Amino acid sequence: MSDPLFDFTDRVAVVTGGMGKLGRAYACALAERGARVAVVDTIADAPAGDAAFVAHLAAGRVAAFPADITDRGALEQAVDAVTAAWGVPHILVNNAAIDAPPDAPLSENGPFETYPAESLDRILDVNVKGAVHCCQVVGGRMARAGRGAIVNISSIYGLLSPVQDIYGYRRRGGEDFYKPVGYSVSKSAILNLTRYLATYWARAGVRVNTLTLAGVFDDQHPEFLKAYCERMPLGRMARREEAVGPLLFLVSDAASYVTGANLVADGGWTAW
C-alpha cells in the first residue's frame, strides 16, 4: 500500500532543467508516485539511455514543454500549455542551472580578479533570473489556486566558499584554475529567494523551500574525485537518486508545515 503522505496522484509538477540527469531523476520519481510531470527545458528530446524516463514519456506521465526560462514570454506560453493540458501545477522544482563548463575558456576559470562580467551575467541570468521567472509564472498561478509547493535547488557552494584546493590538480597541470565566483553567488541568492517567497505566499497556501545539494557523481576527473571525497565526511559523492528522497519530502504532504526552510543533503560537507 502506498503512503498517502507521498501519494502525488493527479498532481501536476513542473521540473525545470528536466532533461538533465537530476531533472530526469526528479521527474521519474514524481511520475512513479502518480504525478503528471511537465519538463521545462531548452532541450526538447530525451537523452538516449535513460529507459525509465523514456518509458514515462511514452506513457504520457511525463511530457516535454520546451522553453528558455530566461525568456518570460516563452515560459508563460509553456506554462499555459501545461495548464491547458493538466491544470494549474501543484509542484515546481526550480532545478535548471548552469555553471562554467569544464571546457570553458581559461578566462572563465581563472583568478577572481579577471573573472569576466559576461560569464557572471550568463550564470545569474539562468540561475537567478530564470528561477525568479519560474516562481512568478508558476508560483503566481499556484497562489491564485490557493495551494502549491516550490523547491529551489541550491548548492553547498551557496552556503560555503569552494575549497579551491580540490581543484589543485588543474593548477599542478599548468592551468591558472579556480572555481569561479558566479555559481556561488547565484546559489546563495536562491536561499533568500526562498525565504522571501515563503513569507510572501504563506497565507496563499504556497510553501517554498530550498534543497541544498553537494556534488553528484558524474564520472569526474579521478584527481578531483580523490580530493573531493577525502574532504567529504561520508567519503564519496552523492548518487543522483540520493537527491530524490529529500526532494519528494519537501513537495509532499509530509512537509505540510515546512516552509522557508533549507534542507541540506550534502554528505556532511557543511558540518566541518
Q: Enumerate domains of the chain plus CATH numbers.
A: 4-265 (3.40.50.720)
Indicate whether 1 pLDDT > 60: no
Q: 26, 115, 183, 228: which one is catalytic?
A: 183
64-102: pLDDT as tens digits = 999 999 999 999 999 999 999 999 999 999 999 999 876
Please write down the HEC assignment for all residues of the chain.
CCCHHHCCCCCEEEEECCCCHHHHHHHHHHHHCCCEEEEECCCCCCCCCCHHHHHHHHHCCEEECCCCCCCHHHHHHHHHHHHHHHCCCCEEEECCCCCCCCCCCHHHHCCHHHCCHHHHHHHHHHHHHHHHHHHHHHHHHHHHHCCEEEEEEEEHHHCCCCCHHHHHHHHHCCCCCCCCHHHHHHHHHHHHHHHHHHHHCHHHCEEEEEEEECCECCCCCHHHHHHHHHHCCCCCCECHHHHHHHHHHHHCHHHCCCCCCEEEECCCHHHC
Q: In the numeric block, which cell numbers belong to residue 101?
A: 563548463
Task: Answer yes or no: 183 catalytic.
Answer: yes
Confidence of residue 107 (pLDDT cuts 50, 70, 90): confident
182-204: pLDDT as tens digits = 999 999 999 999 999 999 999 99
Can you tell me the distance from the alpha carbon of 127 to that of 94, in angstroms, rounded to the nearest whole number?
9
154-188: pLDDT as tens digits = 999 999 999 999 999 989 988 899 999 999 999 99
**What's the whole-model pTM score?**
0.96
